[in-house]
């Protein structure tokens, strides 16, 4: 029996030879051998176990907003969490969200319920699962401030991890480099607030993001992590790299912390531009920039290797 047949038995929404360009906000990447869209936690667990049993490369993908996919594609299984999008209120100030719920949806849900603490996430094009993995943040806010617990699955075991076991740091969590577990849902604890003030804060953040980060082309957001007082965008600009191009990959003239796809950029062009930026910044400022984006290549086992 083929892998495709097996996966379709687990999850109806399974596809073969699927373009990664359509799964990432960068609009870059080759062909994924299989893409699976679980609709229930049970399907997610079963697909994950199947990949481990068959020793298949596996990559869990949310909105693909922080990912650079390889031009050669991915010869394995992409588990896309977009259909795990249930959200509910479980107490006056606590909500539960499936791993694939968009941050923007959670922000709207909280605003309608008069819950404050996530206004900074308005218009961030990612899922709650991805946000937890990278401890996403903006406008002096970050997801770690509102996470209460995360339900994860490893082979044969479901576990609820409290915040104390998530080891959050700047753009980092216990999940950042882990390949042997998958996030299923997240519980967030917020505070009661004025709906009027919450919506005003959301509007302010949306306008601020539009004025500074509306780069006009496909991108994966900030390419490099801030490190203490080191602001990558400022160093890149001072190196004269704003607007620098390799093929259709370009340092944004609007925000030099972004690399944009002018239309036909490849992963190799983006990687080459990243290398050039890192070298130029190191030569001038002796600062080693660290990438914030995740590289999707054909070597992401579901288990530690």
Distinct helix (H) and strand (E) counts, the chain: 7, 19
Contacts of 202 (CB under 8 A, 6+ apart): 107, 111, 119, 122
Residue length of the chain? 305
Q: What share of residues in the chain are helix, strand, coil (percent, to 5)?
A: 30, 30, 40
CA geometry: angle at 126 spanning 96 and 188, to 5°? Answer: 25
Catalytically active residues are 171, 222, 292
Average pLDDT over residues 78-85: 96
Q: Of residues 268 and 122, which shows the higher confidence score?
A: 268
pTM assigned to the model: 0.91
| Average pLDDT taken over every residue of the chain | 93
pLDDT at 304: 31
Maximum separation of any 2 CA atoms in the chain, in Å: 57
Average pLDDT over residues 63-80: 96
pLDDT at 298: 65
Q: Which one, of 194, 186, 161, 184, lies nearest residue 94 by Cα?
A: 186
In the chain, the domains with their CATH numbers are 3-83 (3.30.43.10), 87-197 (3.30.465.10), 226-289 (3.90.78.10)
Q: What is the pLDDT of residues 23-36, one digit of tens each?
A: 999 999 999 999 99
What are the angstrom distances between the C-alpha of 250 and each of 87, 243, 262? Answer: 37, 6, 7
How many C-beta atoms lie closer than 10 Å to residue 177's C-beta?
Answer: 8
pLDDT score of 214 more than 80:
no
User: Per DSSP, what are the bridge partners of residue 1?
Assistant: none
pLDDT score of 303 more than 50:
no
Residue in the structure block whose two tokens are 């259909």: 83
Q: What is the pLDDT of residues 183-200, one digit of tens each?
A: 999 999 999 999 999 999
| DSSP one-letter code for 224 | B
Query: For residue 214, with 0-12 CB atoms within 10 Å meaning exposed, 13-18 middle and 19 or more buried, which class applies?
Result: exposed
Rounded (10°) CA dihedral 27, 122, 128, 82: -50
pLDDT score of 305 more than 60:
no
pLDDT score of 228 more than 90:
no
Average pLDDT over residues 38-58: 95
pLDDT score of 301 more than 60:
no
Q: What is the pLDDT of residues 131-175, one digit of tens each?
A: 999 999 887 889 999 999 999 998 789 999 999 999 999 889 999
Q: Which one, of 80, 84, 45, 37, lies nearest residue 60 by Cα?
A: 80
Query: For residue 62, with 0-12 CB atoms within 10 Å meaning exposed, 13-18 middle and 19 or more buried, which class applies?
Result: buried
């Amino acid at each position: 029996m083929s892998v495709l047949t097996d996966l379709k038995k687990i999850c109806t929404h399974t596809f073969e030879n699927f373009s990664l360009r359509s799964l990432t906000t960068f609009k870059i990447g080759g062909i994924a051998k299989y893409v699976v869209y679980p609709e229930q936690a049970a399907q997610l667990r079963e697909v994950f176990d199947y990949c481990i049993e068959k020793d298949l490369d596996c990559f869990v993908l949310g909105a693909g907003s922080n990912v650079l996919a390889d031009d050669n594609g991915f010869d394995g299984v992409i588990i896309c969490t977009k259909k795990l999008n249930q959200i509910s209120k479980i107490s006056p100030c606590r909500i539960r969200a499936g791993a694939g719920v968009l941050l923007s949806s959670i922000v709207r849900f909280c605003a309608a319920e008069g819950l404050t603490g996530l206004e900074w996430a308005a218009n961030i094009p990612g899922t709650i699962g991805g946000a937890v993995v990278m401890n996403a943040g903006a406008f002096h806010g970050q997801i770690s401030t509102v996470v209460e617990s995360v339900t994860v699955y490893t082979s044969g075991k479901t576990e609820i991890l409290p915040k104390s076991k998530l080891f959050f740091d700047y753009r980092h969590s216990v999940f950042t480099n882990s390949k042997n577990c998958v996030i299923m849902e997240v519980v967030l604890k917020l505070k009661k607030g004025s709906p009027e003030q919450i919506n005003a804060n959301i509007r302010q953040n949306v306008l601020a993001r539009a004025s500074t980060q509306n780069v006009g082309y496909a991108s994966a957001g900030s390419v490099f992590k801030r490190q203490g007082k080191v602001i990558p965008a400022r160093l890149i600009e001072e190196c004269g790299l704003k607007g620098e191009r390799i093929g259709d990959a370009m340092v944004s003239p609007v925000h030099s912390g972004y690399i944009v796809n002018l239309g036909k950029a490849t992963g190799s062009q983006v990687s080459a531009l990243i290398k050039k930026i890192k070298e130029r910044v190191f030569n001038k400022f002796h600062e080693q920039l660290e990438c914030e984006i995740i590289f999707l290549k054909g070597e992401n086992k579901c288990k530690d290797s």
